[in-house]
Chain A
Amino acid sequence: MNILTIALRNSRKKWVRTLLLLLVFTLGVVSIVSLNFVSRVVGEGLEKKLVSFGANILVSPISEKLTVSYGGFALGDMLFDVNYLDERDTIARIDAIALRKNISVIAPKLVVMDRVQGMAVAIVGVRFAQEKQLKSYWDVAQGALPGEEPAPAKKAGGGMHAASTPASAHTPPPTPAPTPAPIPAETSPTGLAQAAMAPLGLPKDTYSGNGVLVGSAAAAKLNLKLGDKVPLGKTHMLVTGILAPTGSEDDNVLLADLTFVQNAVGRTGKANFLEVAALCSGCPIEDIVNQLGAALPNVEIKTLRNIVEQRMYSVHFVKRLILSVSLVILLTGCSMVGISMLSAVNERKKEIGILRSLGFSRRAVFSIFFAEAASIGLLAGVVGYLAGFAVSFRILQVLELSEGATLSFEPLHLLATAVILALLTSLASLVPAWKAAAIEPSEALVTL
Chain B
Amino acid sequence: MNTAATAAPDLGAAMNASIDQAPILHAVDVTKSFTQDGTPTQALKGVSLSVAPGEFVSIVGRSGSGKSTFLSVLSTLLRPDSGQLTYNGFDLTTASEADIDGLRHRDFAVIFQFHYLLPYLTALENTLLPFMRGLKPVSRAQKERARECLERVGLADKGHRLPGQLSGGEQQRVAIARALVKDAQILFADEPTGSLDSATGSTVMELLSQIHKDGLSVVMVTHNEQYASLSDRVVRMADGLVV
Contacts and interface: CB of A to CB of B under 8 A. Distances in A.
A361 B97 CA distance: 8
A419 B52 CA distance: 53
A350 B118 CA distance: 9
A1 B102 contact: no
Interface stretch (A6-14, A157-165, A189-197): A6-14
Interface string B99-115: 00111111010101100
Interface string B68-104: 1100100101100000000000000000011001111
Contacts of B78: 440, 442, 446
A51 interface: no
B201 interface: no
Contact of A446 (B72, B118, B136): B72
State the main secondary structure of chain B at its contact with A: mixed
Given A2-B134, A446-B69, A358 B112 contact: no
A1 B128 contact: yes
Interface residues of A, number: 30
A1 B125 contact: yes
Contacts of B68: 446-448
Contacts of A440: 77-78
Nearest to A351: B118
Contacts of A441: 77
A448 B108 CA distance: 20
B132 interface: yes
A354 interface: yes
Interface in B121-136: 121, 125, 128-136
A446 B77 CA distance: 8
A434 interface: no
B118 A361 contact: no
Contact of A12 (B120, B128, B129, B133): B120
Given A354-B118, A448-B43, A361 B133 contact: yes
A236 interface: no
A4 interface: yes
Interface string B15-43: 00000000000000000001000000001
A358 B105 contact: yes
A357 B110 CA distance: 7
A446 B112 CA distance: 9
A393 interface: no
A357 B77 contact: yes
A364 B98 CA distance: 12
Place the interface of chain B in its size category. 35 or more
A1 B120 contact: no
B11 interface: no
A12 B121 CA distance: 11
Contact of A442 (B72, B102, B106): B72
B196 interface: no
A359 interface: yes
Q: B34, B116, B135 — which one has the most chain A CB atoms within 10 A of its CB?
A: B116
Contact of A448 (B69, B103, B132): B69
Interface string A425-448: 000000000000000111001111
A6 B118 contact: yes
B119 A5 contact: no
A77 B129 CA distance: 76
A360 interface: yes
Interface in A1-30: 1-6, 9-10, 12-13
B134 A364 contact: yes
B207 interface: no
B138 A1 contact: yes
Q: B77, B125, B131 — which one has the most chain A CB atoms within 10 A of its CB?
A: B77
A211 interface: no
Q: B43, B106, B119, B133 — which one has the most chain A CB atoms within 10 A of its CB?
A: B133
A6 B69 CA distance: 29
A5 B125 contact: yes
A214 to B, nearest CB: 65
Given A12-B120, A354-B116, A442 B77 contact: yes
B120 A10 contact: yes
A445 B98 CA distance: 20
Interface string A329-373: 000000000000000000000110111111111101000000000
B12 interface: no
A355 B98 CA distance: 14
A353 B116 contact: yes
B125 A360 contact: no
Contact of A13 (B106, B110, B119, B135): B119
A9 B119 CA distance: 10
Given A1-B137, A446-B78, A447-B68, A358 B120 contact: no
Contacts of B118: 6, 9, 351, 354
Nearest to A448: B69
Contacts of B137: 1-2
Contacts of A3: 132-135
Contacts of A13: 119-120
Interface in A218-262: none
Contacts of B34: 448
A351 B126 CA distance: 11
A447 B138 CA distance: 32
A352 to B, nearest CB: 11
A125 B167 CA distance: 90
A359 B112 CA distance: 15
Contacts of A350: 116
A313 B135 CA distance: 50
B133 A360 contact: yes
18 contacts: A1-B125, A1-B128, A2-B138, A3-B135, A4-B135, A5-B125, A9-B125, A353-B116, A356-B77, A356-B101, A359-B102, A359-B106, A359-B130, A360-B105, A361-B97, A446-B69, A446-B72, A447-B68
Closest 5 CB pairs of A and B: A359-B105, A13-B120, A359-B104, A442-B78, A1-B138
Given A361-B97, A364-B133, 4 more contacts: A359-B108, A360-B101, A440-B77, A446-B78
